[in-house]
Amino acid sequence: MKTFEYDPAEDQADLDKLTLWTIRYSPWVAADPPDGIIIDISGCAHLLGGEELLSKDIHIRLSRFGFNARIGIADTIGAAWAMSRFGNARTKIIKYDKTETALERLPIAALRIEQKTIKRLTRVGLKTIGILNHKPRAPLAARYGKGLVDRLDQVMGRKPESLSPIAEPPDYRTHQKFVEPILTLEQITLSLDQLTISMADMLECAGLGARQFILCLYRVDGNVKWIKVRTSTLSNEASHIIRLLTEKLAALGESYDIGFGIEQIILGAYHTEIMSHHQIGLGGKKENGSAREFQALIDRYGNRLGFNNVGKFLPRESHIPERSEQLISISEKGVKPHNWKNFLDNLQGGSHLGRPILLLPIPEPITAIAEVPDGPPVHFEWRRLKYRIIRAEGPERLAPEWWHLMPEADELTRDYFRVEDTEGGRFWLFRQGLYEYEKTPTWFMHGFFA
C-alpha cells in the first residue's frame, strides 16, 4: 500500500482530469467531489450494447488505472448516487419505476443530507429512506428543514435535479474506436477523414453550420488531448474542417507524447446555427468563389495565430478621421458589415472632399506658411523636406465631438486641405485651432492620396 500527503487541490485536479476522460461515454458529465463522477447516459448506453455492458466497460478501464469503482444507474441523480455508495453490489442498476422499492432499505445518509440532520432523524427512529418516504412532508420540513424534503423528492424523481457539465457539450459529435491502439499522428490523420465526413453529413442534413470543432484523442492510459479549431463563418464542409484539423495535428509534431497509443477519437461540433444555402453550379458542385476561398484562408490564419490576432476594419460613427474606423477580431459575431462609400457619404452628407487611401496612425506636425490666415498653405516642411504647393482644395472643417466624453478634452477645430506639390504628390493636411483664440494654430500631416 502506498500513502501520500493529503492534498485537496491535487485530488480535485485529478478528479477533474478523470471526469474529462469519461466524456468518451457521454458529453454530459460532472465531477462530484470528493470521489465521484456523475454521467448522464441518456441516449448513450446503446452505443456500448446497453447499461450492463457500459458499466462493465467502465469497471475494466478504471481498474487498469488502479481505481476500484462502484457504479449506480438509475432514473435520477440522487438514486444513482445512493446505489453507488450504499448499494449491496459493485454495480447496481435500478429498473424503470423501481426506484422506491430499490431505495427503501437504504440508510438516510444516502439522501446526501447534512450529518447533523442524520443524527436527529436517527434519534427518533427514522433510519431508512423507506420509513422517511411515507411520512407527511409538512411536519418533516417544519422540523428538519426544507432541504431534507427536497433531497427526498429529488431522489424519488418528484423534483428535478440538474447536472452542470464540466465541459461544454457539443451540438453534434461523431466518434471512432480502434481495435488496436494507433501509434502515429499519420494514422490519426487518415482516420480523421471518415470521422469528419460523417460530421459534415450530419450538419448538412440538418441545414446547420458550426463555428468550432474539437477533436479529442483518448490515450490508452487515460490521458485526453483536446484539439480545437475555429472558423470565422459557419462551416459544414468536410474538406475545410479536415484541413484545419490536419494543420493543428501537424503542429503538434514530436511535442505530443502518444504514449501507448490512441484507442478512441471523438469529433464535436459547437456553436451551430442555421446555414444559408450556397449557389450550385451546373455541374452539381458548389461554386468556389473568391469570397469563400478568402474565408478559408482567414480560418487558417486564425487557427495558426489566434483569432484575436487576426482582425478586420469596420466603420465607426465618428467625424474625427483617426476614430472613424475600428479594428475588431474576425471571430466577433453580430456586427453588420458597412459599405465604406455609403458610410463616408452619410458621414459628411455627401459633401466631403474625399478621404485619402492612407492615413498616418498619428497626425505628424509640420511647418506650414499660408498667404492668408484661413487659407491653404503655400509651402510646408515635413520630415526635413520642403514641399511647394501648386493646387489646394478646402477647407473642410471638423469640430470636436462635444457630445462624447473623450479623454482629449482640449481638442480643437480642424480645417482640412487637399494639396498637390510640384512633384505631383497629393497630401491631406489640417490646421488645428482658430485664429480668433489666443493660441496660434498648428499644422499637421494626416494622409496621402494616390
DSSP string, 375-409: S-EEEEEETTEEEEEEEEEEEEEE---TTS--S-T
Domain limit, last residue, from 156, 184, 217: 156
What total of structural domains would you count in the chain?
A: 4
- Bridge partners of 210, per DSSP, are 235
Choosing from 125, 156, 187, the residue where a domain stops is: 156
The pair phi, psi for residue 237, each rounded to 5°, is: -90, 120
CA geometry: angle at 433 spanning 428 and 439, to 5°? 140
CA distance linking residue 369 with residue 181, whole number of Å: 79
- Write the CA distances from 4 to 1, 8, 11, 60, 132, integer angstroms: 10, 12, 11, 25, 40
In this prediction, residue 347 carries a pLDDT of 57
Identify whether residues 107 and 22 lie together within a single domain. Answer: yes
* Structural domain contains residue 1: no
Residues of the chain with pLDDT under 50: 334
Same domain? 118 vs 48: yes
Does residue 196 share a domain with residue 272?
Answer: yes
Domain that holds residue 68: 8-156
Range list of β-strands (E), 276-357: 311-315, 325-329
Do 184 and 70 share a structural domain?
no
260/124 same-domain check: no
Residue 233 lies in a domain: yes
pLDDT of residue 409: 53
Same domain, 235 and 180: yes
Q: Considering the domain boundaries, does residue 162 fall inside one?
A: no
| 308 in any annotated domain | no
Domain membership of residue 110 (yes or no) is: yes
All three cell numbers of 165, joined, read 457539465
Same domain, 141 and 176: no
Together in a domain, 299 and 318: no
- Count the Cβ atoms, other than its own, within 10 Å of residue 111: 23
Give the CA distances from residue 448 to residues 109, 123, 142, in Å, rounded to whole numbers and listed in that order.
79, 89, 80
Domain membership of residue 283 (yes or no) is: no
Segments of 183-223 assigned E as strands: 208-219
Query: Cα(38)–Cα(23) distance, rounded to whole angstroms?
Result: 11
152 and 21 belong to one structural domain: yes
User: Does any domain span residue 353?
Assistant: no
C-alpha cell at 282: 451546373
Q: Which residue has the cell 446505489?
A: 83
Cβ atoms of residues 130 and 107 within 8 Å: no
Element (H, E) at 428: strand 426-432
Distance in angstroms (rounded) separating the CA atoms of residues 192 and 244: 11
d(CA 192, CA 126): 57
If asked whether residues 185 and 254 sit together in one domain, one would say yes
Q: Extract long-range pairs of 237-242: CB within 8 Å, 24+ residues apart.
A: 237/200, 238/193, 238/196, 238/197, 238/199, 238/200, 240/296, 240/299, 241/196, 241/199, 241/200, 241/213, 242/192, 242/193, 242/196
Q: At what angle do helices 115-123 and 137-144 cross, to 10 degrees?
A: 120
**Are 397 and 435 part of one and the same domain?**
yes
Same domain, 293 and 344: no
Integer Cα distance of 212 and 209 in angstroms:
9
**Lookup result for grid cell 480535485:** 12
Q: Which residues 6+ apart lie within 8 Å of 142 measured at CB?
A: none
Helices (H) and strands (E) in the chain, counts: 12, 17
d(C-alpha 305, C-alpha 292), whole Å: 20
For residue 264, what is the domain's CATH number?
3.30.1490.100
Q: What is the CATH number of the domain that holds 68?
A: 1.10.150.20
Domain stops at, among 91, 121, 156? 156
Query: Residue 174's pLDDT is what?
Result: 94
- Is residue 165 assigned to a domain? no
